[in-house]
Structure 1
């Protein structure tokens, strides 16, 4: 009889008895319990410090001189300190906080501590720089600086645990090495999947899941309203730091994955809640100032979602997509009663919007038919050329270089405001006791357009043709071998994306009053343009619905808020994009497949190591 010796039955030798098991360590050589205590205690002190005075004078914006009432940047540190404290207590296994961290409590604690440290120290440095030295700090400023420094030191002391690679036999042949590497990649892939997937949890009742969706939409509305309404530059930079690290913290904790699973289960409720939350935004504003930014963000986001069909689903790199937006805008402007239009007609909005979408779709078919047989860089170059051809063409249709259709560089101006069923979009209206201005009216209209685009995207991606797009994107040669008509499938994607862009362009023409060729360049100063649209899709998350919407919002909001940097604005913006692509290459709200492709060497949790032992 053959006997097997398990690990627990192995005889203990003096060498194995005296050699302790290697302990995982963090970036700083402190014991993990001490690091966890430092991080949690630092978070608590950071919260306490926000109720103290940070500076003696109200010259620094936000009035940080009041005891017992946080203001300005103190509110952001209060949020970060609260998250740090909660994740710290959850890492201790405090009863009742387990649901807060279905993922990794230690990883969430690190991100929260780093965000709190960044916001606090930015505020302390800004006070010292603007007011003339650290002498302008009150006790609260010193307390928050020391507390957040201790918290980040403690967080960095928490261990990083990775799966150990399989040993390589030096006598293996080439085929055996290939099999070993393949097996190792599969193990790493499984570890990455286990690291990203939240732990199984007790299913919530349906009413509780609906409440989770409502809470998520409410939080999203509050964060967006706060970010867009920041009244001074220092507050917006602090908001970016807190929001960025806060999102990373709740993502590491597994909350984002858990909420995403619930919203996926209740898609219709989620879409309805998102629409209502966005519709409530104008009612949270006291004037039309921030509704202006909101309507332009929606136009930008809707066009980016249309581009996501072409780039995210079908995998076609289109660098001239903004031209389809211009086609829709010019078409609607020509038939909307503008005095500078040579047609001198005024169609109702539904007719002009439908015409803009159809004409843009026709242009998509005409341009796509001879070019979509190309692939990769060649297709990108051709689409970039089409974008420039469109701009030069409308520039030359001025009555001198060509027929008088678009008024050349002057464009089509004085486009009248919409009037739908007696509702004048250019006038103020009283709705539910709130005054809704011009841009708020157009924001509500763009919400309806966005909802239409989202429904089209969702239905298309879930259909047979959507699966064919994904197959073409993953491997066109294999898709063709399986019988998919690659040219027809890509042409449908190109035409549908162009149609959605033309629909958004018909609204943009009325919002901006004027359409000119300079608005539709590849890299225009103000988005939307082809470069920013593509960046919005990649940054937000290719192939998803919410990804381009979030990416477009950030890409429009950040440059608008960084104007105080002057000549360094684009530099700071570029550095921000590089950092995001370095640490989040799959996008802010990624597709699951792409997330695992970009993180094959992700950290595996300690549970995985114990399970494998």
Structure 2
């Protein structure tokens, strides 16, 4: 099955693959290879349990073998669907070939990473059992068969003989990229067969349950090899599902049942603490939720309004410091102990006031000038908090030592710092805060959703697209931008107030423009762009990834940010619209996509 899209309209007559294998043998090799990959995961790959995951057992997969098994199963299913087997067509509404290639590459990359890791860590290939050689050979053959599947090559323009060496190199690189892109391109998804509403809702619930399982698996990976294998499998696997058209189909279902999807997503998230037996990974979940929630607030400023704010983390700090000063900390000079609900409201209001004070004189600037001003505000906030130590300035924030010993939240008699047993499940401190933050996130999501769909939300989008044209149509650009700035600051302050109680201590170093540990302004902006500007789920997913991945890559030491940066560059090159794109942005970045029949749907 050849898969073509409109972004490669000029093509050669012959459909060929990367490897010179006829189509029928190649398809059979890829499909059978996927099945053999699954079988090879039940063999022993090494004789010793010194390699983590215990890959020594016959008949039961362990560790990285589970990831290879999942990739092999996907390859088999997509391969069978490409034969037109009845009942499997729903797996590949956009065509099977591109998804076969990506899932086969997932199995190949994860398996070979495992084999190479065993060889390097244990000191030679002698540490491999026959199953290790089998899976290496099988996944290689599967990948070769998948890459041999035909695709329609784009017509490549010849190089200009007058070009210099650099121009010729760029031209040749462009031709190579066009060929690779065409190999993994699919056609638009075919219309799905209408299902009863109850079946669609059950399908949404099932996908959310699987997503929860994948997230829990990724966050609880106990050793670095498993996490790297998880990243490889999840990255290629998501690409395969996307190319098959399943991601687009699920997006359409959630758009049709938005309220059900929203409730289901939060119900799945609420189940996460119940899967944890201690606070180790619940702590990581809380920090991810704080980061993702703040990124969603920034999405109002950047994604909807198009304002480049490089000092947004300062509003998080304003809310955190305000709540810390009035929550009964012994380091606070005020000696005030307000209830938690009053502390978070005060933190949100303080951030809103600072948002108005900073935005009022600066929002008449545009582009790079506004970015420089907001960057300056972020640095001014950090330096000011450092200097309010009783030496360089008044003794308010205890300077670099920050405000420590912030008490636990006690809300309506419920102590969030103590463990509680509910329906047989023991909920620890960080699990309590995780559920509290879910409630805060739900509030932020509802504010974002209602604002984006309101008249002011449409004005934000108009300002983002063309501020001059919007003002010519009667929109007060300054007032609209100031509202976005103040609302985004308020949501950041709300999250910051909760963060202060979760972490017990607030220090200036937590609120820098860029450092190796999020949240900071650089990572927050990257989370919005990576996840998908102007969407609800995009910044939440982007924030979760951008907090989780650096945390799990700490074993790389000083190379951590280098590897992470390279991965971001590659991802944004392959998917510039973000992981969960706004329809309007996707149309702008991919001219080949068909525009929606109703303009308003482009921003959905």
TM-score normalised by L of structure 2: 0.90
The offset of 1:601, in angstroms, is 5.8
State the partner residue of 2:16: 25
C-alpha offsets along residues 444-493 of structure 1, whole Å, 9 cap, x if unaligned?
00000000000001111111111111111111111111111111111111
> Aligned to 1:199, what secondary structure does the other structure show?
coil
State the partner residue of 2:48: 57
Partners of 2:592 and 2:93 lie apart in 1 by 21
> Aligned to 1:502, what secondary structure does the other structure show?
helix
Q: Which range is displaced more, 133-142 or 508-517?
A: 133-142
Given candidates 117, 129, 135, the residue that maps to 2:126 is: 135
**1:201 aligned to 2:192?**
yes
CA contact (8 A) 2:99 2:240 kept: yes
Given candidates 233, 236, 242, the residue that maps to 1:245 is: 236
**1:82 aligned to 2:81?**
no
CA shift in 2, pair 1:165/1:458, >3 Å: farther
CA shift in 2, pair 1:235/1:333, >3 Å: same
Partners of 1:595 and 1:147 lie apart in 2 by 37
Q: Which range is displaced more, 471-480 or 376-385?
A: 471-480
Partners of 1:348 and 1:131 lie apart in 2 by 56
CA contact (8 A) 2:402 2:508 kept: yes
State the partner residue of 1:285: 276
Given candidates 316, 321, 327, the residue that maps to 2:312 is: 321
TM-score normalised by L of structure 1: 0.89
Partners of 1:78 and 1:240 lie apart in 2 by 15
CA contact (8 A) 1:297 1:556 kept: yes
The offset of 1:195, in angstroms, is 5.4
Partners of 1:566 and 1:144 lie apart in 2 by 31
C-alpha offsets along residues 58-101 of structure 1, whole Å, 9 cap, x if unaligned?
11111111111001000000000000000011111111100111
State the partner residue of 2:381: 390
Partners of 1:57 and 1:197 lie apart in 2 by 48
State the partner residue of 2:294: 303
State the partner residue of 1:503: 494
Given candidates 414, 430, 433, the residue that maps to 2:405 is: 414
CA contact (8 A) 1:195 1:602 kept: no
C-alpha offsets along residues 493-524 of structure 1, whole Å, 9 cap, x if unaligned?
10000000000000000011010111101013
CA shift in 2, pair 1:475/1:211, >3 Å: same
State the partner residue of 1:489: 480
> Aligned to 1:24, what secondary structure does the other structure show?
strand
Partners of 2:24 and 2:303 lie apart in 1 by 44
State the partner residue of 2:355: 364
State the partner residue of 1:228: 219
Partners of 1:328 and 1:399 lie apart in 2 by 22
> Aligned to 2:14, what secondary structure does the other structure show?
coil
Partners of 2:100 and 2:140 lie apart in 1 by 14
> Aligned to 1:22, what secondary structure does the other structure show?
strand
C-alpha offsets along residues 346-383 of structure 1, whole Å, 9 cap, x if unaligned?
11111111111111011101100111111111110000
CA contact (8 A) 1:283 1:434 kept: yes
For structure 1, which runs of at least 5 residues remain unmatched after alignment?
1-20, 167-190, 604-613
Partners of 2:429 and 2:580 lie apart in 1 by 32
State the partner residue of 1:468: 459
State the partner residue of 2:39: 48
State the partner residue of 2:535: 544
> Aligned to 2:15, what secondary structure does the other structure show?
coil
Partners of 2:133 and 2:276 lie apart in 1 by 35
Partners of 2:446 and 2:32 lie apart in 1 by 47
CA contact (8 A) 1:45 1:143 kept: no
Partners of 2:197 and 2:154 lie apart in 1 by 37
> Aligned to 2:421, what secondary structure does the other structure show?
strand
CA shift in 2, pair 1:455/1:248, >3 Å: same
CA contact (8 A) 2:108 2:143 kept: yes
The offset of 1:250, in angstroms, is 0.5
The offset of 1:159, in angstroms, is 2.0
**1:524 aligned to 2:515?**
yes
Q: Which range is displaced more, 371-380 or 585-594?
A: 585-594
> Aligned to 1:430, what secondary structure does the other structure show?
strand
C-alpha offsets along residues 197-246 of structure 1, whole Å, 9 cap, x if unaligned?
42112111001010111011101100010001111110000000011111
Match runs of 1:90-489 below 5 Å: 90-161=81-152, 197-489=188-480
The offset of 1:579, in angstroms, is 1.3
The offset of 1:596, in angstroms, is 2.9
> Aligned to 1:248, what secondary structure does the other structure show?
helix
TM-align CA RMSD: 1.7
CA contact (8 A) 1:373 1:487 kept: yes
Partners of 1:62 and 1:599 lie apart in 2 by 42
**1:574 aligned to 2:560?**
no
For structure 2, which runs of at least 5 residues remain unmatched after alignment?
1-11, 158-181, 595-604
Partners of 1:382 and 1:342 lie apart in 2 by 31
The offset of 1:595, in angstroms, is 2.0
CA contact (8 A) 1:323 1:390 kept: yes
Aligned pairs, number: 557
> Aligned to 1:435, what secondary structure does the other structure show?
strand
Partners of 1:419 and 1:95 lie apart in 2 by 58
The offset of 1:525, in angstroms, is 2.6
Partners of 1:262 and 1:231 lie apart in 2 by 35
The offset of 1:540, in angstroms, is 0.7
Partners of 1:548 and 1:418 lie apart in 2 by 27
CA shift in 2, pair 1:101/1:27, >3 Å: same
Partners of 2:111 and 2:593 lie apart in 1 by 30
The offset of 1:165, in angstroms, is 11
Partners of 1:595 and 1:151 lie apart in 2 by 33
> Aligned to 2:474, what secondary structure does the other structure show?
coil
Partners of 2:52 and 2:144 lie apart in 1 by 29
> Aligned to 2:426, what secondary structure does the other structure show?
strand
CA shift in 2, pair 1:600/1:482, >3 Å: same
C-alpha offsets along residues 113-164 of structure 1, whole Å, 9 cap, x if unaligned?
1111110000010111111111211111111111111111111112223687
Partners of 1:105 and 1:594 lie apart in 2 by 26
Partners of 1:329 and 1:158 lie apart in 2 by 55
For the pair shown, which has the larger CA radius of gyration, 1 or 2?
A: 1
Given candidates 53, 59, 68, the residue that maps to 1:68 is: 59
